[in-house]
Structure 1
Amino acid sequence: MKRLKLLAVLVLELLALGAVLLVMALAWIVHGVYRVTMAAENGLYGLEHTLTWLVRDLCNTARGWMKWAMR
């Protein structure tokens, strides 16, 4: 009977260890997704500033050409 109890405790501990390892694996996956998302966000942030500068420059160019055409 003692061996069965010991075996049951051992199985429960192994199940708990498996659950902990599963949660750790999920945490690493979520961390990886977070890092990829943040890298994409930083890239998009730079793209936003570049596009804003480009739009401003194009608007100023169009305004300048319009002024020149009206002369």
Structure 2
Amino acid sequence: MTITTALQLFGRFDIAVFCQFAEDRAHLLNIEMTLQRLLPNEIVLVLRGARALVGMFVMACVIGPAACVVTQWEESHHP
């Protein structure tokens, strides 16, 4: 089942490192990703893909990359 969700991440980010990490993971998992907000303390992505793969993508972003620390995240599912 394909879903669309907004992922809002809070923490400390090296924006260039995080963007490359997210783009690479989205490509590997066949997820459409749109960057909506890129700040050193907040990143918002809109994701579209298979439910299980979107879940894997979210966990990958919460855990890594090493130059970034996620302190909180929220997901908002869209129809």
User: Under TM normalisation by the shorter chain, which class is it?
Assistant: under 0.3
Alignment TM-score, normalising by the size of structure 2: 0.23
Structure with larger RCO (C-alpha < 8 A, sep 6+): 2
Bigger proportion of residues as strand: 2
Q: Report which of the two structures shows the higher radius of gyration computed on alpha carbons.
A: 1
Bigger proportion of residues as helix: 1
